[in-house]
Amino acid sequence: MANLISVHRFKSSQPQALRNVPVYIPSIILVETGYKLLNWQTETLTFDNSKWLFAHADQSLTFINQPSTIPFRSIQICFSSAPTPSIIEAMADVAVYQAKSPEVNSSAKLDFALKQLLAMQELEFNVQTQQQYLNAFYQVLLEVGVLHLLFPVSVISMRARVCRFFSSNPAKPHLIDELCEHFGLSKSTLTRRLAKEGTTYRDLLSEARMLHALSLMQTRPYKQLELALACGYQSESRFGQRFFKQFGLTPKQYMKTV
């Protein structure tokens, strides 16, 4: 059964510095223990368990996951279903008055709404029931004045749509002809639309695979070749080079922090 939200968990026992981590599904990141130091414009924002990090699609985050006296732990909640048109319309009336920072202080109202949503996610509700819970959560975010931080625009970019498609099976070859067939576009149209958004289909496939590698390394130790094969690379060195280019550290360095 399709889930409208997904939850991913991350941990580190040492400072974990990552750059250019792509976000292509609107997400809320909650730090459970330790701190996340986020580069934001010209300043550094510090997130602990009292602050939520809102990340909309089509952006990249550069941060340090910093353990304290115990390992760093966080969860990322990804929202694959957008607000209803009526909520989007209502958001336009309040978003202009709200702050642009992705930092949101936790509150009793937000905590309660999120607990209900996470409890729903663990049960096998059908899509219609999930959507009702999700609409209620979006309504709370709207009332608090922060929903626009997740959905600053109502139209999903081609970049985000392609990345979501790749993320369902990052290790698959994903030939461009198959991608065009899925979206009902010609190769020239798809290439042109991605170029307009400053990217290519190969770059997006690589991004999706690198994010998949991060998730895999959170689950258990991997040898680099094993990790490369699991992410669709036949070359261990090619995988390592692409990982370093994306995040600024090698797979082995990242694994040591976990």
pLDDT at 99: 59
Confidence of residue 88 (pLDDT cuts 50, 70, 90): confident
Contact 14, 256 (CB under 8 A): yes
Which amino acid is it at 59? Q
Please check the confidence at residue 5 and state whether its pLDDT lies above 90. Answer: yes
Q: What are phi and psi of 177, to 5 degrees?
A: -65, -40
pLDDT at 93: 67
Query: pTM for this structure?
Result: 0.90
pLDDT at 11: 95
> Domain ranges in the chain?
5-150, 158-257
Contact 66, 72 (CB under 8 A): yes
Domain 158-257 listed as CATH 3.30.420.40 = no
- As its CATH architecture, domain 5-150 has Sandwich (2.60)
pLDDT at 118: 92
What is the overall mean pLDDT for the chain? 92
Average pLDDT over residues 176-205: 94
Please check the confidence at residue 155 and state whether its pLDDT lies above 90. Answer: no
Tell me which residue has tokens 């910093």. 66
Please check the confidence at residue 85 and state whether its pLDDT lies above 90. Answer: no
Whole-angstrom distance, CA of residue 40 vs CA of residue 19: 12
Q: What are phi and psi of 44, to 5 degrees?
A: -115, 125
